[in-house]
Every structure is written in structure tokens, then in C-alpha cells.
Structure 1
Amino acid sequence: MPLFLMCALQSILLYLILLHSCNIAAYMDEEWKKATATYTNDTEGSLITEGACGYGDLHKASYGKYSAGLSTILFSRGSACGACYEIRCVDHILWCMLGSPSVVVTATDFCPPNYGLSEDYGGWCNFPREHFEMSQVAFSEIAKRKADIVPVQYKRVKCQRSGGLKFTMSGSSHFYQVLITNVGMDGEVAAVKVKGSRTGWVPMARNWGQNWHCNVNLQHQPLSFEVTSNSGRTLTSYNVAPPNWQFGQTFEGKQF
């Protein structure tokens, strides 16, 4: 291959890599947007288990105390599950913490609308309001807990995770489901494929939250996963689960 052609191809490749990186950065580096926030009366510093994202015990799912339920417009039918938001209390001298410190939370639940109440009193999650129902611990870092509701600003940020993506198996012989947690970068999963030793790549459908399913018998096969994030980045983890995997088990793959 001529030297000039090789250099041109290398330049194009470098440009595409930089363009992709810039797109991800721009996606995360959004301007501050206005919303409101309350907190849930939890007892252990985290939102209820078995929430709308399907994470179960948030401490086991690694999201812990810094979690939030999203109003309808932000929740986006579950596609926002796992996304990370930086939130700060603003424009309220009485309730906001001095200096308007921020906190980063993970979207783990849905804050349902209540159209029997007005948007200003109880109907905070009514469409099209942008609202966060935060854990007590997270809320207490930006505002005083005596407040019922506070004005906030928020923006999407990268999710900082320790370890790889986690895949929790459930289902039956002809209905396979996997819960995907601990997702870095975007935090959101947009598409999933699974592959056994006796199958090709099988596209999975979103069941609810971050539970994905397919109607294929995958038992007694090592399983690989192809996960695509909301920004379009795809990550493939080969042979995540061994042939003798069992429903209820959790396995770890690569990280974005």
C-alpha cells in the first residue's frame, strides 16, 4: 500500500475516533436544566426495592443510597434506568444548602403521576414536569429535609462504576431474562444481544426497566453478551456465564 494512502487511512481513523469521543462528551456535558426535587421517606437511605427499573436491593446493585425516581418525561418508559444525574438545589435561601453543593444520583425508579393533585401540590411527577424523587441521603446533601419540594438544576453526567457490567439470570427453559446493572459511562442500556454456544447472536427485548428477555432456551450453554449504550457504543463480553449457570446467579463482564 502506498505510504500516502496509508497515512490518509490513519488520519481518517483518528478523525472517526476523535469524533466518537466528542459525541460521547457532548452527550454527557449538557447544560444545567431546571426541575424540582423531593425525597422519599425510606428507612435505610435508599429507595424501595423492586422498583420500576427492576434493580431489587439497590445496595447489591451497587447504586446504594444515591438513587432517585424520575417523573414520566425523564423516565422515558424505563430507558433512563441506570443514567446518572448531577443535581443541585437553587433559588431557595431557606431550604438549599449554603453554596448549592451538588450530588450525583442514579435513576433507579419511576415517580408516578398523580393527576388528582395539582402540579404545585402533590402532583409533582405529573406530565410534563421534570422531577426527581431522591433518597433521603442524597436529598440531605443539597437541601434541608424539612423542605417538601425544592427547585433544582440537573444535568446528565458519566456514571463512575467499580468493576464490570453485571448480568443476573432469571426465567425458565424457554423464557430467558437478564437484568443488567453497574453500567458505566452512559449508564443506560439501549440494546442487548445474547449468544450461546449453540446459537447465533439473539436480539433481546426490553421487558421492564433494565430487564431484557428472549424466548430461546439458553440452558447448558456458555453465554456471551453484546450491550449497546444509549450513545451507540457497543461492548461485547464473551463467555460471561459458564455452561452450568443457574437462574438467580449473577456474572460479571467487561465495562464501558
Structure 2
Amino acid sequence: MGFHGVMLIGLVGICAVALGVVDGNRSDEASLVGSGWGLARATFYGPPDGRDGMGAACGYTNVVNQGYGQATTALSTALFNDGAACGTCYEIVCVNAPRACKPGKIRVTATNFCPPNYTKTTDIWCNPPQKHFDLAMPMYLKIAEYKAGVVPVVYRRVKCGKTDGVKFVMGGNKYWTLVLVYNVGGAGDVKSVRVRSSGASRWTQMTRNWGQNWQLVGQILLGKALSFEVTTSDGSVVQAINVVPSNWNFGMTFGAKKNIH
């Protein structure tokens, strides 16, 4: 994955970052001072227009059509957390490489996984314990020169801003309901999903299948109106009451009126 045929430009200034000063490609990067910033590297993958729509490791079917656009990234093992980090949003700045870095910062959403390659001894950006962002090419080119290939960056978690509600894609079969949860605001990463069907008095806990696909096995939900309760990693909760009508079918997408902000 990514443009991995180029020698890494050295990571320096670690002590400066620890002191809260980002000493990199701009004299005003001291404005980035604050808790929550970490050191990582970044590469890029995909076509120049960023429209490959890849998001399979998180369960997204097409990240462009599902509202994430070009502002996406794949995460290395150290950041991906077995898919629990899908949907998180990051602010990223290229630092400590004056010839490679461009001024400014980007915000991206984690929509994919950058797999490790244990057969290689070089260009092992996504191998543990490396913290690495494999950016959609248009986003990489906003902060770094193409020819650099791989650059040192600082990053931090930020809130995901959404203008409409949480969305649910219905999948599975009669005895196995699989729901893709996306377009989640706030922390962005979902840690819990509960479902309640029409006529039921209690919520039923769903389990993560992979990425942001959540499942319920052994219960028939087809033909029933459904409500969902979504909890993000920071404990924020949004309920989408009767968001799915009783005449739903597999492959349909439904949007809630609410989101987390």
C-alpha cells in the first residue's frame, strides 16, 4: 500500500514535540501546541482523484458515495485497533521535512486498514508498532510533495463534524442481521450498538462483526420496525427510534434525524 519506494526522510525533533513545540516546515507550527498530538508517518495510496472508494476493512461499501469523500485514510495496525477505530477523525500536519512538507493541515476519517508486511525489512510503515497513515492521494498532496513518498507527521484525534444523521445499511439474511453504521459524528468510532424491534420492551445488544458492521444472530428482525442505539468511544449516545420501517429489506439504507456532535 502507498508510495513505498522512497527512502524515509528522518524523523527529528522528537524532544521538541515532547515539549509541546512542533518544529517543522512552518514557523507558526507552534500554534499546534497542546495535548493529544502524537508522532507518526504518512504515505498515500489510490488514484490522484481519490475516488477508488475503498473502505472494505471498515465495512464501508463506497466511502465517496457514503459522504466521506476524498478525506480518508487507512490506519496501521497500531492505530486500527482491530477495526474499532473505523470512523475516527484525525488532524494531520507534515513536519520536520522542509523540502517535502507543505504548509497547512488536513482532517481525515479512518475508513480502511494498512496491513503489515512481515516479509519485508524496509518500507515497513504499517508494521507494528509503527503509527502510520496511508492517506488518499489528494489528502497527502495537500500536506506533502509527491516525490517525498513518505513523510513524518504529527496527528491528533478531532471530532467528526456531520451535517445529517447517523446512517444504517441493512444486510445479512433472515436469521442473521448485519448492520453497517456510518456517518457518525462526535468521536466517530462506534463501540456499542443496540437494537429494539417493534413490540419489544428491551434493547438487545449487537456484536461487532468487522469494522463498523454490527450483527445480531438467531433472531428474526425482518418484517419489524427497528430502532437503534449507537454509543461512541467517548460514551456519547444517540438513539434512532423507528428509523427502519417494517417493510425494510436487505441492501436498504436508512438515515436517522439525529447525530452526535
SS of the equivalent of 2:134 reads strand
User: Counterparts of 1:116-131 in structure 2 under 5 Å?
Assistant: 116-118=119-121, 121-131=122-132
User: Counterparts of 1:18-57 in structure 2 under 5 Å?
Assistant: 30-42=35-47, 44-46=49-51, 48-57=53-62
SS of the equivalent of 1:146 reads helix
SS of the equivalent of 1:138 reads helix
After TM superposition, which residue ranges in structure 1, 4 or more long, deviate above 3 angstroms? none
Letter in 2 for 1:70: L
SS of the equivalent of 1:247 reads coil
Letter in 1 for 2:252: Q
* TM-superposition CA deviations, 1:83-102 (whole Å, max 9, x none): 000001000011101xx310
Displacement of 1:47: 5.2
Residue 255 (structure 1) aligned with residue 259 (structure 2): yes
Kept in 1, the 8 Å contact 2:49–2:138? The answer is no
Alignment partner, residue 108 of structure 1: 111
Kept in 1, the 8 Å contact 2:91–2:156? The answer is yes
* TM-superposition CA deviations, 1:195-238 (whole Å, max 9, x none): 10143311000000000000121011110001111001111110
Alignment partner, residue 75 of structure 2: 70
Alignment partner, residue 212 of structure 2: 210
Q: 1-side partners of 2:221 and 2:35: how far apart?
A: 40
Displacement of 1:31: 2.5
Structure number with bigger Rg:
1
Displacement of 1:138: 0.5
SS of the equivalent of 1:141 reads helix
Q: List runs of 5+ in structure 1 lacking aligned partners.
A: 1-28
Q: 2-side partners of 1:48 and 1:165: how far apart?
A: 19
Alignment partner, residue 239 of structure 2: 236
TM-score (norm 1): 0.84
Change in CA separation of 1:228 and 1:30 when aligned onto 2, cut-off 3 Å: farther
Alignment partner, residue 172 of structure 1: 173
Q: 2-side partners of 1:96 and 1:50: how far apart?
A: 27
Letter in 2 for 1:32: W
Change in CA separation of 1:147 and 1:48 when aligned onto 2, cut-off 3 Å: farther
Q: List runs of 5+ in structure 2 lacking aligned partners.
A: 1-33
Change in CA separation of 1:178 and 1:225 when aligned onto 2, cut-off 3 Å: same
Change in CA separation of 1:244 and 1:30 when aligned onto 2, cut-off 3 Å: farther
Alignment partner, residue 89 of structure 1: 94
Kept in 1, the 8 Å contact 2:53–2:64? The answer is no
- Percentage identity across paired residues of the two chains: 43
* TM-superposition CA deviations, 1:67-124 (whole Å, max 9, x none): 0000001000001000000001000011101xx3100000000000111223xx3210
Kept in 1, the 8 Å contact 2:194–2:206? The answer is yes
Alignment partner, residue 5 of structure 1: none
Q: 2-side partners of 1:255 and 1:41: how far apart?
A: 30
Residue 227 (structure 1) aligned with residue 247 (structure 2): no
User: Counterparts of 1:177-192 in structure 2 under 5 Å?
Assistant: 177-192=178-193
Change in CA separation of 1:68 and 1:239 when aligned onto 2, cut-off 3 Å: same
SS of the equivalent of 2:58 reads coil
Kept in 2, the 8 Å contact 1:40–1:47? The answer is no
Alignment partner, residue 17 of structure 1: none
Coordinate RMSD, CA, aligned: 1.3
